[in-house]
Chain A
Amino acid sequence: MKFLYEFFEKNRPSKDSLMYYPYEAGETFMFTPKTVTGSKGAHVRDAIDLKRMMMTVIIAMIPALLFGIYNVGEMHAVATGAEMGFGDKVLFGAIRVIPIIIAAYAGGGLVEVVFGALRKHPINEGLLVTGMLIPLVVPASIPLWQVFVASAFAVLIGKEVFGGTGMNILNVALTARAFLYFAYPAQISGDKVWFDLADATAVDGFTGATFLGLASSASSEGIEVAKYAAEATASWSAGLYSAENLFFGFIPGSIGETSTLAVLLGALILVGTRVGSGRIILATVLGAMGMGLIMNAFGANTYMQMPAYYHLIAGGFAFGAVFMATDPVTAAQTDTGKWIYGALIGILTVIIRVWNPAYPEGIMLAILLMNVLAPLVDYYVVEANKKRRLKRATV
């Protein structure tokens, strides 16, 4: 790799050049810089850097991504009744998903590089994660240009205007999703988008509603949620919304969100490597479970009577709890704060799902809301620490 290193050394642009930071990004990507520690202070440093940390998050997302690619094909087969083998399904999914990933990296990357060059700051590794998260939280049928625009918007408005990586208030990937939700609702909500039909026609009796969509209709019909969901799909895919399918992920939904199992694998990687906060994940699950049980206790309609654990396996709850809520920049930063932050996300998710007819999926709004409130949560935790310190003083 010596020639490559020499190539970088020879062609390095000057620090004033617009090309400096994009160039540096490429160089530091290929070679860890030979920078050594200062003459005072810690002379040895931990082997980790931000690149490696971000890469760990991407690796944690791979199970969800791979399953998502397969499931896009699987759902196509279910909706159109087409005979497809495993390979066909994966191929169908890959053709749909990979361009979306490229569009997301391109949109966000463009903004990141332009800002890095103009404002003279290093290109940040956070983009690696953001660019992978966005494809996983959109349906496969989404137009590519919308992904590109949403990704660019999210990096620009969600992050760069606040001063770049580490300074943002809202989770960047969720900002992209919220942008799509409000700017192009037809392509990311309702019951037309979750199965990627391509040019084929759907089977007879097909309804594209997701489980959460059906759950909220069930309450107005007064029928038990699971039964209602089973009836809605009985004529074309019996048992589509069984609890097992919800858990394993053979259901329609955003590309990476459907499989609780795949997300759990990711959670194991994140928590095992200590990159993601297990505290937040656990608190979110406990919050949702607790609120689900409270709903059961009231049981005013059939949605409220739905077993609480359904909230954990339905929709994007697991994905949000593991990959979105744990974003260290936008989450609460104190240990106590993380418990409160996570629990409130879980509680709010269930409340929004059950009580708000407009948003069948509650986790996105719950996390965005708690992103905004996280500094407040931290504020009180920090104040408590200061008070403890002051109390000790005798004067």
Chain B
Amino acid sequence: MSKNITLKKGFDIKLKGKAELNLLNVDQPETFALKPTDFVGMIRPKALVKEGDTVKAGTPILFDAKQEGVMYTAPVSGEVVGIIRGEKRRLMEVRILADKEIQYVEFPKYTDLASVSKEDAKTAMLSSGVWPQLVQRPYAVVANPSQEPKAVFVSGFDSHPLAPDYEFLFKGQEQYLQAGIDILKKFAPEVHVTTNGKAGSSILAGLNATQHKVSGPHPAGNVGVQIHHINPINKGEVVWTINPFGLLQIGKLFLEGKYDASKLVAVAGSELNKTGYVQTYLGANVKKMVEGNLAQDNVRVISGNVLTGSSIEKDGYVGFYDHVISVLPEGDKPRFFLKDGWLGFITDRLSFHKAWGLLGGASKEYALDTSLNGEERAFVMTGAFEKVVPMDILPTHLIKAIMAKDYDNMEALGLYEVAEEDLALCEFIDVSKHDVQGIIREGIDMLRLS
């Protein structure tokens, strides 16, 4: 039951500095880190190792005391060199100094995936560290192993600004992707894979799963938007989502018996001299990718894309779910109102709104900075959010319901179906400069923890 879906609403933010399709010659980083803060649903992270311990790739190093079965394991082998804590001694990072040659924890290896029982599969996935790749909806948190999903969704393309090219990321890995799908079919009746309807062909289109084509501007690539159109989530239902990288890891776990966290990371952004892809491991330190490659010093390094990522230091670590490092100029300069400020004649900044003077076209590529471009205000503009959320959801009303802590309306207006990323464009276009994604997460947490 495949579907062709064409979305009209949304907005493509075209930025300068998309990663070029070649591998950058960058030395392997020395340290790697796992950050509990990457897992938004994690309530009480606990470290399982001490500084000085040696670990192999696949050794559990932390877990959530509120969800004990799921292990978060070391992406590389080496020595634990730092356990960083923040306020109230909350665990922030576990850093590992990597070995030159990666040692792997051995897991059972299969040639015939059909012979793997669901229970064995679950045990292996939970203990090896691949489980957190499964994200459940509602709530967009690491999947709860005790729940049965009604389907698994894989978005086969990324429509975010400066997004990595999935064809480049997953080239030649079809067998692992297929193995991942085959394993997940044990958990849910259907595995849905979407590909970009605008692109010619896709590696993922050849996989044996329920295939769909989705076309349209961003957020067409967001799995939440796709679920809404393919098989929407109703109250009481659970679906799982997973990035193709997660499929790879599951596939490698069962076919090769190891937790292989190697991945390609795109390095992109207008402030880089050289963009491209770097072959590394999950949780890599970005210092070597950024250092000596910057056009200027006052930049922000973001793990992830510019709409949903987190800012990190120039020697910070790539987030668990991220496949791109975006480097933008900081916008911390005051602007005189007539020259380049709010009344100026501006052509070098992008606006969804066609308001006076912002004459640049959306097809041009922009080097946007991190300025808020205004001050926080009460909600005044209406109808704009609705133009960038291609779902049968009323974003303005949903946001207001959350702000009013109106649980019934949050539920009824569709909070179970969305994650922060699905309304990230609302945050971008918001004239009143609200933290829309923060509000959405607050709402999700209210429902999840109530």
- The answer on A and B forming one complex is yes
A contact residues vs B (CB 8 Å cutoff): 1, 4-5, 28-53, 55-56, 59, 122, 124-126, 164-167, 269, 272-275, 277, 328-329, 331, 333-335, 338, 382, 385-386, 388-390, 392-395
Q: How far apart sit A392 and B394, CA to CA, in the bound complex (Å)?
A: 17
Interface residues of chain B, those whose CB is within 8 Å of chain A, are: 13, 15, 161, 232, 234-236, 300, 302, 306-311, 326, 328, 330-337, 339, 341-343, 346, 349-358, 368-375, 377-384, 386, 392-394, 396-397, 412-414, 420, 424, 427-433, 435-438
* Distance in angstroms between the alpha carbons of A43 and B310 in the assembled complex: 8
Q: CA of A51 to CA of B420 in the docked complex: distance in angstroms?
A: 27
For residue B335, which residues in chain A have a CB less than 8 angstroms away from its CB? 31-32
| Contact assessment for A386 and B413 in the assembled complex, using a CB-CB cutoff below 8 Å | yes
CB <8 Å contact, B354 and A49? no
Q: How far is the CA of A343 from the CA of B235 in the complex (A)?
A: 36
- With A32-B337, A32-B342, A388-B392 in contact, do A43 and B309 touch (Cβ < 8 Å)? yes
- The CA of A45 and the CA of B412, in the complex, are separated in Å by 29
Q: A5-B334, A274-B353 are in contact. Are A166 and B343 (CB under 8 A)?
A: no
* Distance, CA A125 to CA B432, complexed state (A): 11
The one of A28, A165, A333 in contact with B383, judged by C-beta atoms closer than 8 angstroms, is A333
A45 CB contact (under 8 Å) in B334, B373, B381, B384: B373
A46 partner, pick from B375, B396, B429, beta carbons under 8 A: B429
Q: Which B residues lie within 8 Å of A4 (CB)?
A: 336
Q: Shortest CB–CB separation between residue A371 and chain B, in angstroms?
A: 14
B412 and A43 contact, CB distance less than 8 A: no
Nearest neighbor of A333 in chain B, beta-carbon distance = B382
Whether A273 lies near B368 (C-beta < 8 A) is: no
Once bound together, how far apart are the Cα atoms of A51 and B381, in whole Å?
A: 12
Contact A335 to B383, CB < 8 A, known contacts A32-B341, A39-B310, A382-B397? yes
Report yes or no: A273 in contact with B355, Cβ–Cβ below 8 A: yes
Known interface pairs A50-B431, A331-B382; A42-B413 also in contact (CB < 8 Å):
no
CB contacts (< 8 Å) of B375 on chain A: these are 28, 33, 35, 49-50, 122
A395 partner residues in chain B, CB cutoff 8 A: 234-236
Contacts of A59 in B (CB 8 A): 356
Are A53 and B378 touching (Cβ within 8 A)?
no
| Contacting pair A34 B332 (CB below 8 A) | yes
Of B326, B346, B397, B414, the most chain A CB neighbours within 10 A belong to B397
When the two chains form the complex, which single residue of B13, B380, B424 contacts A41, counting CB atoms closer than 8 Å?
Answer: B424
A34 contact set on B, CB distance < 8 A: 331-334, 371
Partner of B392, one of A165, A166, A389, A390: A389
Docked Cα-Cα span, A40 to B235, in Å, equals 29
A52-B342, A166-B380, A277-B383 known; A47-B397 Cβ under 8 A? no
